[in-house]
Chain A
């Protein structure tokens, strides 16, 4: 399965819905999408990972890169994920302390720092 990406705007937040597998082959597509959004002035991103079947460290690296980019503009990057097997990777690498992880897009959009 390849990677699918779509975006949607909700107020000042941009939702990035990701589906499929994020690995060493597909992660560059996600990186390009995040870079493009930041270059176009979207600094508050919500990455919806409910449709993600697989995530590896390359994908984590892309998300960390996205976070660094939005923070340079005083922005935010929030994740939406309820899947235990994906959450486990964030826990193993200690990234649950770095990313705010929400149970729904609505919750992530309503959240403030």
Chain B
């Protein structure tokens, strides 16, 4: 079960709330202070993308954010209910500008987060991101 689960109407004004909650839970879970800015930005990008997909697809369901504290790692999963025709594909009906913004958001997430999985199917998609909650161990060569 998620440590914290957040559902919000697919409206731009709620994305900031999701960022603040995610950063607060990440800090409590032991994510390094230096990485919290990245967590905040990455979860904001994922939520912005989900809000866009719901709004463009006329989907009234809320966007779902799962914040999961596990041993030595912290995960965030942002789920949308927009149908994707192919894995990683675009929502039918999206315009060129919407696709560009979607790709820019994904580019920022992949640049920020080492451990990221993007999945998509006909019933919705998700972005799962993971961060370590302990300093990486160094091994003798």
Q: Please report the total number of A residues contacting B with Cβ < 8 Å.
A: 14
Majority secondary structure, B binding face: helix
> Is A50 among interface residues, defined by CB-CB distance under 8 A?
no
Residue of A nearest to B34 (CB): A85
Complex partner residue of B44 from A56, A60, A92, A93, CB under 8 angstroms: A56
Cβ–Cβ contact B100 & A24, under 8 A: no
Q: Pick the contact of B16: A23, A85, A92 (CB < 8 A).
A: A23
- In contact, B16 and A56 (Cβ under 8 angstroms): no
B104 CB contact (under 8 Å) in A21, A23, A85, A93? A93
B108 in contact with A92 (CB, 8 Å): yes
Q: In the assembled complex, how far is the CB of residue B54 from the closest CB belonging to chain A, in whole angstroms?
A: 12
Say yes or no for B15: interface residue by CB 8 A criterion.
Answer: yes
Q: Complex: how many Å from CA A15 to CA B3?
A: 45
B contact residues vs A (CB 8 Å cutoff):
12-13, 15-16, 19, 37, 40-41, 44-45, 48, 51-52, 100-101, 104-105, 107-108, 111-112
